[in-house]
Chain A
Amino acid sequence: MAVAPSIEALNITKDFASVRALNSISVSIEKGEIRGLLGANGSGKSTFMKILMGLVKPDQGTITVDGFDPVKEPIAVRGIVGYVPETPRLYDYLSGIEYLDFVADLYGLPRDVKKERIDEFLTAFGLREQGNDLISGYSLGMKQKIALSAALINRPKVLIMDEALNGLDPRSAKIVKDTLIKLSSGGVTVLFSTHVLEIAEAICKNVTILDHGNIIAEGPIDQLKKRAGGSTLESVFLNLTGSSDVRAVVEELTAS
């Protein structure tokens, strides 16, 4: 008997006024898979992720996330999904610990579990010293670590990360990568978007490439390399998205 996909989106369309952000896209992600969602700025990645979270309603199409419909059951979806937005808008007037404590309470975690997990994340991301400092004084990377910790604090079944590795130092980025791989082997489905294609190549088996709201390529990275004629994911991406004129643009920008 076939196992139902963890995330299944069928014919999703979303328009913002006259702009079509997503054009009838369908994506299916297996349980425990790490899927890279790639695309240039404005290609529709963030919109798709927000639709999966139930933050934005699609105009057409159906979605299930671990069996729940984000449109009809957004609270149930948010209870099992950890989400790291593109730009974490944390509460600047709370300390890192206070914020995580706040999130843990929204998930209804018991006191002992809450304490154990907050301690665990602060130690893992090297924030133990700054945990009691106000978030307003944090660097972008530190904010990102807090946002990641908040997404993971409830041990989600699905993790959605929208360019969540931005601003992280190499040690933390490595921790996140290893964490994603470990979570995936434990059955957690991960969908993450990034512009750092080396990271996607290192941890994803499959990628989905969006361009102007359309899926222009999808599948295992090795197959895409063969199909698009590139030795790296970066060259595949640039070939597929028509961005191979990079050299000419650089020449123009640096011309004296």
Chain B
Amino acid sequence: MNFFKAWRIAQILLISQLRASATSRTSMRSLIRRPMVLVVLAIGLFLGSDALGYFFGYNFSRSPTVAPIVKPLLTGAIITLPALILAIFLVLGLVLEVSGSSQAAASDTINWLPVSADDYVLGSILMLVTYYSIVPSILLGVTMSLSYFFGVLQAWELAAALSILGVLVSSSVLEIIRAVLNRFSSTFYKRGGRGAFAVRAIFGVLVIVILQILFYPTFYERIIGTITAKFGPAWFIPVLWSSVSVAALLTDEVVLALSFAFLFILLVGVMFYFAVAARTKYWVPMPAAVRITSAAYSPRSGSPLLGFLNASQLAITRKDLRGLVRRREMVRLLSLPFVFLVSIYLGMSRSGFGGLYIFGFFILTMTTLFISLAELGSEGKSILNLYQFPLTAKDFIIGKAATPAIFGSIFALAFFIAAGVLDSLFPTFVVMLLVAGVALVLEMTAFGMMMGTKFPYFAESTRSSFMSQSAGLIGFPLGLVVMGSSLAPFLFTLVTGMSSFYVTLGFAVSIVITLVLAFVFYALALGQARKMLSQIPGID
């Protein structure tokens, strides 16, 4: 293994990652895009957090009322720290992996340079550690002085060392996942066909949702609860050995603490070995020649579902729907409603099921808006195709808007019908929810199109979000405000338990507001699209 090469690889990966995540060249952003500044920032945050910890530790430890409350919380936090940092890195790394565009994911250049698998894996690990270094810096900084004042500094030292090693475990696991997913994709690519794409999309959504559940705070809290309650069954979960070791040290079981610490160090070595092995085995990506169908070409007739679209609009919609299931980076968009649903379901109490309708509208808003905002950006540089053919602004907007509208409407139907069945609602009420849901989808689609055309973004980067920072930062809060304003009359009558007459009246008013706003947004999007289509982006 060549550490110099590994460090150079880490630097290059880091620079490309940092530059890809910035969209403009303002001085602040260009400063953050320097790898060394990230390291300095991490050190600064560590010292700052430590100063904060010092202030609170000094005061809390002297207070006879606060100290007995803080100490058990602190020891729990120190025990949790190594496993928590490991989990955070794993989730952040997965987000980075999932959001990477397929064009940037293939590190082809590395394949023909004199770099060994272990150089690359170590470089990739170092990159991830530096990229997210501020996370452990803050967590370790805050707890250091607190530990000193509460007399558990030794345990903190062990926790800090094992946390850093835990980061190596996460990074190695990510390398393994990356290699396996590459092979998984290649295998499916080799088989090809529409079925394989569907399976791949479902698998992608499942991976995201399962991981989300695994690392959901309440879920994790229960596991940690098990550890702190005298190890429990945690000893046979390798990623928790670090926390078990710290817990053992806090109860003065030094031999046990050292044994688990040793086991955890072994785990780091084993995971690194497997990461290198996986990378070696799948070093060169398999050439992909995917056959969609073996049937002879025969032009398809228009789908009855999409009968309201003309040929150009339908062509764009079909292309985008294909992209939604075939492109790896689009899987996260498919998984959005499920991610929101899981978060809300795990977070809410079963008694307040009625509130789920409001969350349903929230999920619809976020999902439709996200897909709609990303619709234009997902073209990337291939947007040139839409410029070079005779396409009007109206065809462009309607063709692009159809995908989020279809996806959102399908989810609205599924969600409100399921909610109606589970909660034994009156069919008329379910129909009202459905109509309101579909109207909201249209409104959010038009709003997303308006924002997308106002802030067009066609950059292709390692972790493209398919939308400009301005579109995201302004679009989501404003979208929620629009949703709230449009549905306020309907939701107000529901929440306050008014009579069916007032609920119907509120519903009617909301639908009118929603559809009028949808039309206004559509008209604005059309105007922006005309301007946008007058010249290819990135000119001037």
> Which residues does A use to contact B, with CB under 8 Å?
16-17, 50, 53, 55-57, 74-76, 78-79, 83, 85, 89-95, 97-98, 101-103, 105-108, 111, 114-115, 118-119, 122, 130-134, 136-137
Give Cα A217–Cα B103 distance, bound, in whole angstroms.
41
User: Which residue of chain B has its CB nearest to the CB of A78?
Assistant: B390
Q: Is there contact, CB below 8 Å, between B387 and A132?
A: no
Q: Which residues of B contact A (CB under 8 A)?
A: 102-103, 192, 287-295, 297-301, 311-312, 314-316, 318-319, 322-323, 326-327, 380-382, 384-385, 387-392, 533-536, 539-540
In the complex, the answer to whether B389 meets A107 with C-beta atoms within 8 Å is: yes
Closest B residue by C-beta to A151: B388
**CA of A79 to CA of B387 in the docked complex: distance in angstroms?**
11
B297 close to A97 (CB less than 8 A) = yes
B318 partner residues in chain A, CB cutoff 8 A: 102
- What are 30 A-B interface contacts by the 8 Å CB criterion? A55-B384, A56-B535, A74-B533, A74-B534, A75-B392, A78-B390, A89-B380, A89-B381, A90-B382, A91-B323, A91-B385, A95-B291, A101-B300, A102-B315, A102-B319, A103-B385, A103-B389, A106-B312, A106-B315, A106-B390, A107-B389, A108-B312, A132-B291, A132-B292, A132-B293, A132-B294, A132-B295, A133-B192, A134-B288, A136-B288
Indicate the member of B293, B316, B384, B392 with the most A CB atoms within 10 Å. B384
- Is there an interface contact between A133 and B389, defined as CB atoms closer than 8 Å? no
CB neighbours (8 Å) of A83 from chain B are 388
B292 touches A133 (CB 8 A): yes
Which of B311, B315, B326, B391 has a CB less than 8 Å from the CB of A93? B326
B311 with A55: CB separation less than 8 A: no
Taking a contact as CB atoms under 8 Å apart, the answer to whether B292 and A118 are in contact is no
How many A-B pairs with Cβ below 8 Å? Answer: 114
Chain B residues within an 8 Å CB radius of A106: 311-312, 315, 389-391
Q: Is there contact, CB below 8 Å, between B290 and A136?
A: yes
Please give, as numbers and ranges, the residues of chain A lying within 8 Å of B295 by CB-CB distance.
132
| Shortest distance from the beta carbon of B458 to any chain A beta carbon, whole Å | 10
Complex Cα distance, B385 from A89, in Å, reads 7
- The interface residues of chain B lying within 8 Å CB-to-CB of A105 are 311-312, 314-315
Q: How far is the CA of A95 from the CA of B323 in the complex (A)?
A: 11
- Cα distance A92–B221 when bound, in Å? 43
* Chain A, residue nearest B540 (CB): A16
Complex CA gap A128/B391 in Å reads 28
A-B CB proximity, top 9 nearest: A105-B315, A79-B390, A93-B326, A134-B290, A137-B289, A78-B390, A106-B389, A89-B382, A111-B299
Q: Kindly state the separation between the CA atoms of A118 and B385 in the bound complex, as whole angstroms.
A: 18
Tell me the bound Cα distance from A107 to B395 in angstroms: 12
Chain B residue, CB-CB nearest to A136: B288
**Closest Cβ–Cβ distance, residue A59 to chain B (whole Å):** 10
Name the contact of B382 in the complex, choosing from A17, A79, A91, A115 (C-beta under 8 A): A91
- Nearest CB of B to A134, in Å: 4
Asked if B536 and A133 make an inter-chain contact with CB atoms under 8 angstroms apart, the answer reads: no
Query: Nearest CB to that of A79 among chain B residues?
Result: B390
Query: What residues on A are CB-neighbors of B319 within 8 Å?
Result: 91, 94, 98, 102
Contact B381 A93 (CB under 8 A): no
| A121, chain B: closest CB distance, angstroms | 11
Contacts of A101 in B (CB 8 A): 297, 299-300, 315
Q: Are A119 and B297 in contact (CB under 8 A)?
A: yes
Q: How far is the CA of A49 from the CA of B292 in the complex (A)?
A: 35
| B290 surroundings in chain A (CB, below 8 A) | 133-134, 136-137
Docked Cα-Cα span, A115 to B293, in Å, equals: 16
The answer to whether B322 touches A76, judged by C-beta atoms less than 8 angstroms apart, is no
CB distance from A48 to the nearest CB of B (A): 14
CA distance A105 to B315 in the complex (A): 6
Report the separation of the CA atoms of residues A134 and B300 in the bound assembly, to the nearest whole angstrom. Answer: 18
Report how far A85 CA is from B536 CA in the complex, Å: 13
Question: In the complex, what residue of chain A is closest to B393 when comparing beta carbons?
Answer: A75
Given contact pairs A102-B315, A108-B312, A78 touches B389 in the complex (Cβ within 8 A):
yes
A56 to B298, CA, bound (A): 36
Partner among B192, B297, B536 whose Cβ is within 8 Å of the Cβ of A115: B297
Whole-angstrom distance between the Cβ of B398 and the nearest chain A Cβ: 13
A79 to B318, CA, bound (A): 21
B535 to chain A, nearest CB (A): 5
Which residues of chain B have C-beta atoms less than 8 A from A132's C-beta?
A: 291-295, 297
- Would you give the shortest CB distance from B464 to chain A, in whole angstroms? 14
Residue of A nearest to B295 (CB): A132
CB contact under 8 A between A50 and B536, given known A85-B388, A89-B384: yes
Contact of A107 among B323, B390, B540 (CB under 8 A): B390
Contacts of A56 in B (CB 8 A): 535-536, 539
Q: Is the CB of A76 within 8 A of B390?
A: yes
Provide the bound-state CA to CA distance between A105 and B299, in Å: 10
Instruction: Tell me, in angstroms, the Cα distance from A79 to B102 when the chains sit together.
Output: 32
Given contacts A55-B536, A90-B382, A91-B323, contact A78 B388 (CB under 8 A): yes
Which residues of the partner chain B approach A85 to less than 8 Å between Cβ atoms? Answer: 384, 388
Q: A50-B536, A85-B388 are in contact. Are A114 and B299 (CB under 8 A)?
A: yes
Residues of B within 8 A of A55 (CB): 384, 387-388, 535-536
B297 CB → nearest A CB, Å: 5
CA distance A50 to B322 in the complex (A): 29
Specify which chain A residues have a CB less than 8 angstroms from the CB of B103 in the assembled complex.
92
Report the Cα distance A107→B389, complex, angstroms: 7
Given contacts A75-B392, A90-B385, A105-B312, 8 further A-B contacts (CB under 8 A): A57-B535, A74-B534, A78-B390, A101-B299, A102-B319, A103-B385, A130-B289, A137-B288
A62 to B445, CA, bound (A): 39
Instruction: For A71, give the chain B residue with the smallest CB separation.
Output: B534
CB neighbours of A131 from chain B (8 A): 297
Complex contact A134–B385 (CB within 8 A) = no
Shortest C-beta distance, B310 to chain A (Å), equals: 8
With A55-B535, A91-B319, A106-B315: A134-B299 Cβ-Cβ less than 8 Å? no
Q: How far is the CB of A129 from chain B (nearest CB, A)?
A: 10
Q: Tell me the bound Cα distance from A79 to B539 in angstroms.
A: 23
Query: Closest residue of chain A to B318, judged by CB?
Result: A102
Q: How far is the CB of A63 from chain B (nearest CB, A)?
A: 14
In the bound complex, residues from chain A placing their C-beta under 8 Å from that of B294 are: 132
A84: min CB distance to chain B, Å: 9
Set of chain B residues within 8 Å of A130, measured between Cβ atoms: 289
Task: Quote the shortest CB–CB distance from A95 to chain B (angstroms).
Answer: 5
Among the interface residues B288, B299, B389, B535, which one has the most CB atoms of the partner chain A within 10 A? B389
Chain B residues near A16 (CB-CB < 8 A)? 539-540
A98 in contact with B387 (CB, 8 Å) = no
- Collect the chain B residues with CB atoms within 8 Å of residue A103's CB: 385, 389
Contacts of B535 in A (CB 8 A): 55-57
Q: In whole angstroms, what is the CA distance A75 to B291 when docked?
A: 34
B389 and A57 within 8 A (CB): no
Residues of B within 8 A of A53 (CB): 388
A54-B326 Cα distance, complex, nearest whole Å: 32
What's the Cα separation between A130 and B297 when bound, in Å?
A: 12
- Min Cβ gap A133→B in Å is 5
- Least Cβ–Cβ distance between B300 and chain A, in angstroms: 8
In this complex, what residue of B is CB-closest to A105? B315
